[in-house]
Amino acid sequence: MDKPQRIEDLGEFGLIDHITNDFVSQNKSTIKGVGDDAAVIDCVDHCRLITTDLLVEGIHFDLIYTPLRHLGYKSVVVNLSDVYAMNGKPEQITVSIALSNKITLKAVEELYAGIKLACDKYGVDLVGGDTTSSLTGLLISVTAIGRASKTDICYRSGAEVNDVICVSGNLGASYLGLQILEREKQIFISDHKIKPEIDRYPYCLQRQLKPEARKDIVEKLEKNGIKPKAMIDVSDGLSSDLLHICKQSGVSCKVFEDKIPVHTEAAQLAFEINTDPTIAAMNGGEDYELLFTVDHSEYDKICKLDDISVIGYITDKSNTPVMIARNGVEVELKAQGWKHL
């Protein structure tokens, strides 16, 4: 096959594969490099987890409707979520920022007030970073460092046929919240006198602007003696993220539309803006819920836990990954394209 010539043809994950393929680990301490929610480094009696995310103004956030305090909080939380997705505990973060000349001191203080709030809430320490200027807009890069015992650590690759597929919380609300913010932004641009109508969707807006990482779910599973076999956090939408588990585990899946958890406010909002709540859940992303599989022998135990839904099961890789819609029709799961390109 000809070598691909354009980034658009590869997509985000194709591009990552393309540029990292030639790298072979040279250190015995590198247990897991590229390809999971966090890298895993051997520290003799435990593992270090390292994950990083870059947030770019105009791509990941819009300062017209994003309070900087919320942005600071979210930029930390999205990284902690990746550490929890490895069944680990985050301990430190570094924060690097590139500031455009329109950012005031007050604005940076607000950003860091949000970062501090997240550090305090999740018990992590800010231990460094870098500060520079930017010609285009604000950039924030956070790296989270965590730990896990060698026996607790959970990869995307551990799912097996007949495992039960579970997801925490609910899905789609963050994407729907973003649709409202975008809608009100357009109305505001067209007429500055119109007051934004956002009070009716507090839950969806909070999910978009100030998400939480599911520390509580990792703790709950541990307390109940349930070890997830494969896990990922839902940042790109249920469909993409479940396909990552399937691909890396060499399996397939069947999920049921009527089992996918959607918050009542999200369902109401989807109805109002003519969007299918299932599409928001499957393809929306930024939910930062945990998607994981457990052995089918744990089914009764997992069903008893609050705020965790069983949405389907793992099948043999010879099957197409599917969602069974409410009307019984099988719909093939597809990964999302690269939204930001």
Write out the residues near ligand ADP by the rule CB under 6 A: 16, 20, 34-37, 53, 82, 235
Task: Give the pairing type, strands 252-256 and 125-133.
Answer: unpaired
Q: Please work out, in degrees rounded to the nearest 5, the angle formed at the alpha carbon of residue 115 by the alpha carbons of 114 and 119.
A: 115
Q: Does 233 bind Mg ion (CB under 5 A)?
A: yes
Residue 127 interface partner, choices Mg ion, ligand ADP, none, CB cut-off 5-8 Å depending on type: none
Smallest gap from Cβ 281 to ligand ADP, in A, equals 17
Question: Is residue 289 close enough to count as binding Mg ion by CB under 5 A?
Answer: no
| Token pair listed for 325 | 């819609």
Measured in degrees and rounded to the nearest 5, phi and psi for residue 160 equal -130, 160
Cβ 157 to Mg ion shortest distance, Å: 14
Q: Toward Mg ion, which CB reaches closer, 69 or 90?
A: 90
Instruction: Supply the minimum distance, in Å, between the C-beta of residue 235 and ligand ADP.
Output: 4
Asked whether the beta carbons of 275 and 223 are under 8 A apart, the reply is: no
Which region, judged by CB under 5 A, interacts with Mg ion, from 14-22, 35-43, 99-107, 174-182? 35-43
Contact by Cβ (8 Å): 96, 111: no
The two tokens of residue 69 are: 């305090």
- Smallest gap from Cβ 297 to ligand ADP, in A, equals 28
Query: Is residue 57 a contact residue for Mg ion (CB under 5 A)?
Result: no
Q: Which is nearer to Mg ion, 37 or 287 (CB)?
A: 37
Residue of minimal CB distance from Mg ion? Answer: 37
CB of 261 to ligand ADP, least distance (A): 21
CB of 291 to ligand ADP, least distance (A): 11
Containing H/E element for 295?
Answer: none
Q: Which two tokens stand for residue 56?
A: 């770019």
Select from Mg ion, ligand ADP, none the partner in contact with residue 160, using the beta carbon and a kind-dependent cut-off of 5 to 8 Å.
Answer: none
Q: Which of 32, 72, 80, 82 binds Mg ion (CB under 5 A)?
A: 82
Residue 240 neighbours by CB distance under 10 Å: 21
| C-beta closer to ligand ADP: residue 83 or 115 | 83
First to last CA, the chain: 24
Nearer to Mg ion, 82 or 298 (CB): 82
322 or 335, CB closer to Mg ion?
335
Candidates 36, 37, 257, 298: give the one binding Mg ion (CB under 5 A): 37
Given Mg ion, ligand ADP, none, residue 64, with its beta carbon under 5 to 8 Å by kind, binds none
Three-state secondary-structure class, residue 325 = coil
> Is residue 74 within 8 Å of residue 206, measured between CB atoms?
no
Copy the structure tokens of residue 195.
């007051």
φ and ψ of 250, to 5 deg: 65, 40
Residue 36 near Mg ion by CB under 5 A: no
Q: What are phi and psi of 210, to 5 degrees?
A: -140, 70
User: Can you read off the two tokens belonging to residue 335?
Assistant: 């990964």
Question: Which is nearer to ligand ADP, 60 or 89 (by Cβ)?
Answer: 60
Distance from CA of residue 151 to its chain's centroid? 24
Q: Which does 16 bind (CB under 5 to 8 A by kind): Mg ion, ligand ADP, none?
A: ligand ADP
Task: Write the CA distances from 290 to 153, 207, 305, integer angstroms.
Answer: 14, 14, 14
Nearer to ligand ADP, 241 or 298 (CB): 241
> 144 phi and psi, to 5 degrees?
-110, 140
35 binds, among Mg ion, ligand ADP, none (CB under 5 to 8 A by kind): ligand ADP
Question: What's the closest the beta carbon of residue 147 comes to Mg ion, in angstroms?
Answer: 17
Pair 300, 174: CB distance under 8 Å: no
Residues lying near Mg ion in the complex (CB under 5 A) are found at: 37, 82, 233, 235
